[in-house]
């Protein structure tokens, strides 16, 4: 009687070992997937922070560097980088759909021109569009309207890239200036 059961313990323990191995492999695959997801989330966060920095620089460029009495001419296409000021809706229709090489050839680079963020595939870029002059009723009188005194609106668009060039975040804001 005892001899008939000797082989069954071996078979049961081998099946138990196989089940434990499959559970371990599945757990390792889950951990690997979670690690990839965390890396992608980190890349997206870095791209967003870079785009935010470039957007702030674009807004500052509008506020500090555009001479409202002699603004740069707005362009509809960029022949020599960086283009100072784009016409509204002209930067190649929807720059948020453009890749890193388009931004490099058509927009202003964030910072001093060197790679400020070594962890990123490229430095962030920004461009500025002239939206409109809005004299809005009683705020500006007829004489001021003739000299385009009053509020001018610009749109700043910035793109940041993650550690892989395929990770991209694009932000926009509207900037209002006042010509006295």
Boundaries of every domain in the chain: 2-179
Q: Supply the pLDDT for residue 50.
A: 93
Q: Supply the pLDDT for residue 48.
A: 94
pLDDT in tens, 103-122: 888 888 888 766 677 788 88
Strands 125-133 and 150-161: antiparallel
Percent with pLDDT over 70 in the chain: 81
Residue 53, pLDDT above cutoff 90? yes
Report for 14-18, 90-94, 107-111: range of highest mean pLDDT: 14-18
Q: How many CA atoms lie within 13 A of 147 on its CB side?
A: 11
Average pLDDT, the chain: 81
Task: Among 27-31, 94-98, 105-109, 129-133, name the one with the lowest average pLDDT.
Answer: 94-98
Q: Supply the pLDDT for residue 4.
A: 55
CB 125 within 8 A of CB 158: yes
Residue 146, pLDDT above cutoff 60? no
Q: Supply the pLDDT for residue 173.
A: 93
Strands 86-87 and 108-109: unpaired
Q: Supply the pLDDT for residue 56.
A: 95
Q: Supply the pLDDT for residue 46.
A: 93
Residue 90, pLDDT above cutoff 80? no
Task: Among 3-7, 107-111, 174-178, name the one with the lowest average pLDDT.
Answer: 3-7
Alpha carbons 169 and 116: distance in angstroms, whole number = 17
| Average pLDDT of the residues in 116-139 | 79
CB 68 within 8 A of CB 62: no
Q: Supply the pLDDT for residue 30.
A: 83
């Amino acid at each position: 009687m005892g001899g008939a059961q000797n082989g069954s313990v071996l078979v049961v323990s081998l099946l138990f070992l196989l089940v434990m191995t499959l559970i371990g492999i599945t757990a390792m695959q889950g951990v690997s997937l979670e690690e990839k997801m965390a890396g992608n989330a980190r890349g997206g966060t870095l791209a967003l922070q870079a785009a935010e920095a470039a957007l702030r620089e674009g807004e500052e460029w509008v506020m500090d560097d555009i001479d409202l009495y002699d603004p740069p001419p707005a362009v509809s296409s960029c022949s020599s980088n960086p283009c100072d000021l784009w016409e509204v809706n002209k930067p190649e229709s929807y720059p948020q759909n453009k890749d890193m090489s388009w931004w490099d050839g058509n927009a202003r680079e964030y910072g001093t021109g060197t790679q400020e963020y070594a962890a990123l595939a490229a430095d962030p870029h920004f461009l500025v569009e002239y939206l409109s002059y809005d004299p809005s009723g009683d705020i500006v009188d007829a004489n001021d309207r003739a000299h385009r005194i009053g509020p001018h609106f610009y749109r700043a668009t910035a793109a940041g890239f993650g550690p892989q060039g395929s990770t991209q975040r694009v932000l926009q804001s509207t900037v209002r200036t006042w010509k006295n």
